[in-house]
Amino acid sequence: MLFNSLSFLIFFAAVFLLYFAVIPDRFRWLFLLVASCIFYMAYIPQFILILFFLIAVDYFMGIEIAKAEGSARKKFLIVSIIANLGTLFFFKYFNFFNENAAAIAKLIHWNYSPLLLQIALPLGLSFHVFQSLSYVIEVYKGRQQAERHFGIYALYVMFFPQLVAGPIERPQHMLHQFHEQHDFSAVRVRRGLEIMLWGFFKKLVIADWGGQIVDHVFSNIPGTNSWTVVIAVFLFTYQLYCDFSGYSDIAVGLALVFGYHLTWNFNRPFASRSIAELWRRWHISLSSWLRDYLYTPLAFAWRKAGTWGIYASLLVTFALIGLWHGANWTYVVFGILQAVYIIGEMLTQKFRRRIVDSIGLAKLPRLHHAIQSVIVFLLFTASFIFFRAASIGQAWAIIVKIFSGISLSALNVLDTNGFTIMTAATISLFVLEFLVLRKHSFDDISAGRFGKIVSASIVVGSAATIFAFAFWGGATFIYFQF
């Protein structure tokens, strides 16, 4: 059941009406849990058993950790980690590691026939595992009390607005919300619907249309000229951003309609002046999760190695960020490139500062900021060649094609009405995000002097555009596969 589908709109309307008009407040948590189960089972019903297995393990491990003392607490934490990461490994990485083991065995002339499983990946498993693990870790660290209500804990993991693609919530932010009463609020519902419409605009108008062009180019790299490949790579960056941030906006708005506040997953990442800053603005819930639970412990453990320990921690963390996205070496390379960029920024910081001072750029902060943002965007976009490519070989073929000669006369594949419309929509998106929403939330905009006009314009414009494009059909969200 995709957010951008008629079945979801019917589901949402039914849940909304029943939640506020029929269901008593004391049973609303149960109603949301049942609705979340129905939502998840619309994909592959039997996978909900895996989800409830992880929920049960972490619920009971959290209680046992809270009751235990000394080293026994760590044993229960380890049980949770093994159950969660073991499940994730089995479904997502078993074949990947077996295939690579077979390749290594072949190189050293060992006879090894890999066992490959024909199994589907449960929807959103990577998100579920990280969210559920964060609860157990926080209980272990003493920063979160163990949740005694099994149904509330299950709802924390399964809440349907963020069930399949995040954001990855922390227990301190969400659990107490499920214990609170949420009455109907017309103002809050309107805010939520505005945010949802904004997300639908990103997804249906920019991501889906851009995806058609990107898919066309990437399916025929040898027969495509260099300029077209370059533009397709740039378009993929916008496609992925609008696809995932669009989903995140829909999730945030949807939760807000029911009175719940989710974490914002993106904060104008393309305004970043460094790759390190970009990763504080891009997929915030994932990057902060790995910062807190992987990078910081590694950097502390390797602190005696000094800066080399920091570099190693960055490489491990970002390699795993890449691997989290998919069982393919292309994702690992994508992740490692982020670490290389950040390490490069650290190593060249003084050198770059001297250059900026020597050419007088420090006296022009806005120009300096703009140049930094452009460089960061170019580097980030270059790394997406590996993210989008089906293999390392295809990624290399794309790079070779880009540098094999650029001809301005060979852009006819992009000379279409669809490309023109999508370009206009993209410009509109970034004008709103960078100029209108730069320092204000949707609430602040609506409360300003011209707030009602701006707010109404966003709603009417987004809704009209969405309906205009809807008949083309909506593609699935890219991050659903992770």
For residue 457, give Cα distances in angstroms to 51, 314, 437, 462. 41, 43, 14, 8
| Torsion sign across C-alpha atoms 263, 268, 270, 271 | negative
The span from the CA of 367 to the CA of 361, in Å, is 7
334 closest CA partner among 290, 286, 379: 379
166 closest CA partner among 126, 219, 195, 198: 126
Cβ count within 10 A of residue 112: 12
Please spell the DSSP secondary structure of 92-129, one letter per residue: IIHHHHHHHHHHHHHHTT----------PPPTTHHHHH
Q: Which two tokens stand for residue 409?
A: 């006369």
What is the three-state SS of 193-223? HHHHHHHHHHHHHHHHHHHHHHHHHHCCCCC
Q: Write b or e for each residue in 273-302: b if 16 or more Cβ atoms lie within 10 A of its Cβ, otherwise e.
A: bbbbbbbebbbbbbbbbbeebebeebbeeb
Q: Which two tokens stand for residue 408?
A: 């301005």
Question: CB of 140 within 8 A of CB of 147?
Answer: no
13 closest CA partner among 254, 194, 250, 262: 254
- Rounded to the nearest angstrom, the gap between the alpha carbon of residue 29 and the centroid of all alpha carbons in its chain is 26
Catalytic center residues:
325
Q: Which helix (H) or strand (E) holds 379?
A: helix 365-388
Q: Which two tokens stand for residue 394?
A: 């295809």
